[in-house]
Amino acid sequence: MQIIPAIDIIDGKCVRLTQGDYAQKKVYNENPLEVAQAFADAGLQRLHLVDLDGAKAGTVQNWKVLETIAANTNLIIDFGGGIKTENDLEIVFNSGAALATIGSMAVKSESIFIEWLNKYGSDKFLLGADVKDEKIAVSGWLETTDIDVYDFMEKHIKYGVQQIFCTDVSKDGKLEGPSIELYKNIIQKFPSLYFIASGGVSSMKDLIELKQIGCSAVIVGKAIYEGRITLEDITRTNIN
């Protein structure tokens, strides 16, 4: 199971929110490159980079941070937040992202997303499924749809999507443990999917449990920044 550390960016700084609430913001490092280099030095290979300013503005903002990290590390970066147009997408790929992370777009502008999959290749996209009570949540989790998470995943897998991460909105940033039952159900329904767990991870015990149920990878953010999981722990237990 691959460990994918997360860096969330506001004003060019590394921050974390709780449950996507910009009012509950904590700055962890003024220099995201330092954080990314520490991840790379620990042997981690991927990075989940989120442009929170972009997500709020509806257009990519912090592409310079992406460019800097991509130029100075060998991390495979997926970048999301504010990708709404093909111009945004081009900026993200030209700045060094290996994958573009798409969430609300796949719900609100499904036909455009399918066009992108066909044009750029489905291996260039990471689909985010934010979930509240097994229904898809969009627009920074402010809006819950009536779309069933399993139907959503099945449809996009048919379109060619190969990697999906799922965040239980109720768990994110709260360090209360991940949604094991939800993830078990997803893995059971889509055994060949590269499935990435996200949200709620608080300890090495959580990581071991996610590995045991068959997750392909897990995104870890706050638990690393708060010292609940150290990079040494990850390396030592060979979970990555």
DSSP 33: H
CB 206 within 8 A of CB 177: yes
Alpha carbon distance 76, 85 (integer Å): 22
Alpha carbon distance 78, 129 (integer Å): 15
| Among 8, 53, 168, 206, the one annotated catalytic | 8
Alpha carbon distance 27, 214 (integer Å): 33
Identify whether 172 is a catalytic site residue: no
Residue type, 100: A
> Which pair of structure tokens corresponds to residue 7?
């860096």
Identify whether 21 is a catalytic site residue: no
Alpha carbon distance 154, 189 (integer Å): 9
| Among 130, 168, 172, 206, the one annotated catalytic | 130
Active site residues: 8, 130
